[in-house]
Structure 1
Amino acid sequence: MGSRRSTKETSEAASDPASSVSKEKKSMLVEGYPVEGLSIGGQETCVIFPSLKIAFDIGRCPQRAISQDFLFISHGHMDHIGGLPMYVATRGLYSMKPPTIFVPRSIKEHVEKLFEVHRAMDQSELKHNLIGLNVGEEFQLRNDLKVRAFKTYHVVPSQITYPIATPEIAFTGDTMSDFVIDPDNADVLKARILVMESTFVDNAMPVQHARDYGHTHLSEIASYGDRFQNKAIILIHFSARYYREEIEAAIAKLPPSFAGRVFALANGI
């Protein structure tokens, strides 16, 4: 499968050099919210809600992420945080206001050191507001919007922050399905929109393999069908081994309780 994927990418690049750019710009409307971004397992994840000026994770810093005022980093893996210095630097280049960046408190000191290194090399200020949150902590973004961090389960320290009113949107980043059965995360499964990973979608990759690497398999999502009360579920972080058609076919096989409310952010696939 890996070699097939490489051949596919090579042929697409040759026929359309701008293919990756055009895919990045595609958006979908979910529960009244435009949703944009890219999410390919191990390569880059950045999920954007432009009407809220919010981005979840930064990947390699796609162009559309730069105009988002608030950035939420789920954990320190490079495919989720690699574009962070570029995000801040580009906003400064365009004379935009310093962004507010949320990270798990456990990695806040490392992120501060990251910016110190880039300031020394780039000779720029890299202005931003960096906020570390622990599980359960909240922060008021503005009068009508606040965020709360909830617990996730990955191979490195991670936690996710989500905008709450009802809550409206919950983002899981990379996490095993254990978060679904965590009683402290009940609100996550009631959020209007749940954005969660589904790295593997077929039997070629067993559930245990996904769990060994701190990820979720689509079959696990199906098995917990009665727990998801969300109006919409956006699946992200698909393995690069899959074609878009394979992902859509797998989602079509989900139990009837998921019908009409599951979306795939498969830009770049």
Structure 2
Amino acid sequence: MDHIGGLPMFVATRELHVMKPPTIIVPASIKKSVEELFEVHRKLGGSELKHNLIGMEVGEEFYMKKDLKGYVIYSVKQKLKQEYLGLPGNEIKKLKLAGVEITDTKTVPEVAFTGDTMSDFITDETNVDALKAKILVLESTYIDNTVSVEHAREYGHTHLSEIVNYADKLENKAVLLIHFSARYTVELHWRCPYSLKRSHYDCHLSGN
């Protein structure tokens, strides 16, 4: 319920920001129940909660965009241009009023979230901003040798050993590992490898 219970709020938030109705895919066996969940929220909240709900049977396929991996949150900072440094405040004000562009805009990746993904995310050059973000939230579904890397990849997930192997590609100040398999105990969740701990960024582990 921690995931599916949030669907109505997710749709309501998109409505609030005037975004197009989302497509939601659920097992066909629970589609009717999900429809009822939305109906209850419509009655309680008075929102339309428009969405496209698709029920899929076992063996059916649904195409998703290849570039759908996660997201990056950026901060946008304005910095006074080098040539204007040291000028009195009144001079800078005059330039600004005259329409002179006195600042440079710098966009900095602050937080990146991968979602469920394979380690290919780390090696994909198009994800360079995520790998340079101050904080990278990265899935690590499997963390020991009871599950192989091949198994993790077969189900679209990442194994901790892959993250260790690609540690030199992670330029983040902190890496937050999430989405651990329920097979692991709380104690195992804190097995952050020494090779990551001693690198130039912090390694933190979090439960699901």
Q: TM-score range by the shorter chain?
A: 0.5 to 0.7
Structure 1 residue 186 and structure 2 residue 121: aligned? no
8 Å CA contact retained: 2:142, 2:180: yes
**Which amino acid is the alignment partner of residue 244 of structure 1?**
V
**Which amino acid is the alignment partner of residue 214 of structure 1?**
G
Give, in angstroms, the shift of residue 265 of structure 1.
1.0
Give, in angstroms, the shift of residue 163 of structure 1.
1.3
- Aligned residue for 1:243? 185
Query: Aligned with 1:244: secondary structure?
Result: coil
8 Å CA contact retained: 2:173, 2:200: no
**Which amino acid is the alignment partner of residue 163 of structure 1?**
I
Q: CA separation in 2, counterparts of 1:247 and 1:84?
A: 25
Q: CA RMSD in A?
A: 3.4
Query: Aligned with 2:141: secondary structure?
Result: coil
Which structure is larger by alpha-carbon Rg, 1 or 2?
Answer: 2
Q: CA separation in 2, counterparts of 1:123 and 1:190?
A: 41
Gaps of 5+ in 1: 1-59, 62-80, 90-97, 131-154
- Aligned residue for 1:167? 109
Q: Residues 236 and 118 from structure 1, CA distance in 2 versus in 1: closer, same or farther, beyond 3 angstroms?
A: same
Matches within 5 A, 1:58-69: 60-61=1-2
8 Å CA contact retained: 1:190, 1:229: yes
Gaps of 5+ in 2: 26-30, 52-61, 76-107
Matches within 5 A, 1:3-18: none
Determine what percentage of the aligned residue pairs are the same residue. Answer: 38
Structure 1 residue 232 and structure 2 residue 174: aligned? yes
- Aligned residue for 2:206? 265
Structure 1 residue 82 and structure 2 residue 4: aligned? yes
Query: Aligned with 2:163: secondary structure?
Result: helix
Q: CA separation in 2, counterparts of 1:110 and 1:119?
A: 12
Q: Which has the higher contact order (CA 8 A, sep 6+)?
A: 1
Task: Note the alpha carbon deviations across 1:208-233, whole angstroms, 9 max, x for none.
Answer: 00000000000000000110000000
TM-score, structure 2 length as denominator?
0.60
8 Å CA contact retained: 2:113, 2:136: yes
**Which amino acid is the alignment partner of residue 108 of structure 1?**
P
Q: How many residues align?
A: 151
Q: CA separation in 1, counterparts of 2:9 and 2:131?
A: 30
Q: CA separation in 2, counterparts of 1:196 and 1:206?
A: 18
8 Å CA contact retained: 1:167, 1:190: yes
- Aligned residue for 2:118? 176
Query: Aligned with 1:266: secondary structure?
Result: coil
Matches within 5 A, 1:90-239: 99-100=13-14, 108-110=22-24, 118-120=37-39, 123-124=42-43, 125-126=46-47, 157=64, 158-165=68-75, 166-239=108-181
Give, in angstroms, the shift of residue 172 of structure 1.
0.6
Query: Aligned with 2:136: secondary structure?
Result: strand
